[in-house]
Amino acid sequence: MKNMLLLGAITVLAAQFATAQSPQPALPDAVQQEVDSVMPQVVEWRRDFHQHPELGNREFRTSGIIAEHLQALGMEVETGVAHTGVVGILRGGRPGPTVALRADMDALPVEERVDLPFASQVRTEYNGQDVGVMHACGHDNHMAILMGAASVLAGMRDELPGTVMFIFQPAEEGAPEGEEGGAELMLAEGIFENLRPDAVFGLHVWPIPAGVIAVREGGTMASSDSFAIRVQGQQTHGAAPWAGIDPIVVASQIVMGLQTIPSRQLNATTTPSIVTVGAINGGLRSNIIPDSVEMIGTLRTFDADTRTQIHERVTRTAQQIAASAGATAEVTINLGYPVTANDPALTRAMQPTLQRVVGDRLMESPLITGAEDFSYYANEVPGMFFFLGIAADDPDMVYPNHSPYFYADERALPVGVQAMTALALDFLQAQ
């Protein structure tokens, strides 16, 4: 039963958006030959990164390998961006627009349980604990794919009508406590200031059938914000609740009230939204009503305006329920990643490119309630983010991202290289 929901979603997805057309060649023959020739190296890179994962803002070995490769291709290379990020600039031989391609580099504090000859054995310290480290979200695939695309595109530099920016980004999974990182910091350090791309593309491997590509217009991955609510009551003996103000009862009412925000206070036809309380803490003894209760949770939605409305309604709901009981509620909302929204015009324009790459394996992506900091790039310039299937044929090998059993079928790697290469070429040539 462990994978029934996931496999059900895959089955539904596989029935959508398919066409019966025979796929056209994804790339000209000469370019496809370059893709084929670089694939053994792509596999080698992917396995090496997988075996030697590094956490966010600590991708020192990883970024060194990437920078050395881009320099060997004759690119302008900037290192140390947002701690460990690498940016390569490939200037074509003809004038034209600029397109950015992005891959993330960081792994997760997860101990690998997949039986692979290149499985990670890495351990490190994370938040004061000794942890295993694993590319449990597939970023090893992202880096290897983009390095392969860089090789192919650099080999046709003279024919390129424009410029390609290769962004290798640290800390997509979040920076270590007390640090900044990721896409937001790369932008703050000015990667789009001297050379502003006209479009940005990114991909993410996903547990859908290997080689499938899924994409959708508009909101694709949710915004992810956290909240904390401190309910202040008045402590008293549990045998005399009328002598105080019970923050546990108030907190319970707030939890129920928060659920009416997505179900009753927001336009359900605009976008799905989630308000989740993940923890409630308060009290020490069975016969003491405590002074206060603290709650934490997460807020998710696919629309920027709805995101703002949720923040306002969480604050109002908590404070007014508390006030009705004579208590107070202090609400703190911490902004996380924005909505990852694909530019509709760009997505429609590039859909034929993806169609050429995978034919009837191009599908409409469902909404994904996970979050991605590619959203920051797509808020700056038109962006398109798509999913590349890496699920094995054996359903017992299909696990979600972030699982210690996450497995990526390498049949997806050439599809990823083709897709990123074709998107860059088609975008540059169409402008």
Active site members: 337, 410
DSSP states along 240-266:
-GGGSB-HHHHHHHHHHHHHHIIIIIS
Question: Which residues are CB-contacts of 417 (< 8 A; sequence separation ≥ 6)?
Answer: 35, 38, 39, 42, 145, 148, 149, 152
Residue indicated by tokens 């890495």: 122
CA distance 45 to 39: 10
Residue indicated by tokens 């004061």: 128
CA distance 354 to 385: 12
Q: Pseudo-torsion of CA 129, 49, 140, 42, nearest 10°? A: 180
- Cβ count within 10 A of residue 344: 13
Nearest Cα neighbor of 338 from 292, 367, 305, 304 is 304
Nearest Cα neighbor of 90 from 169, 168, 154 is 154
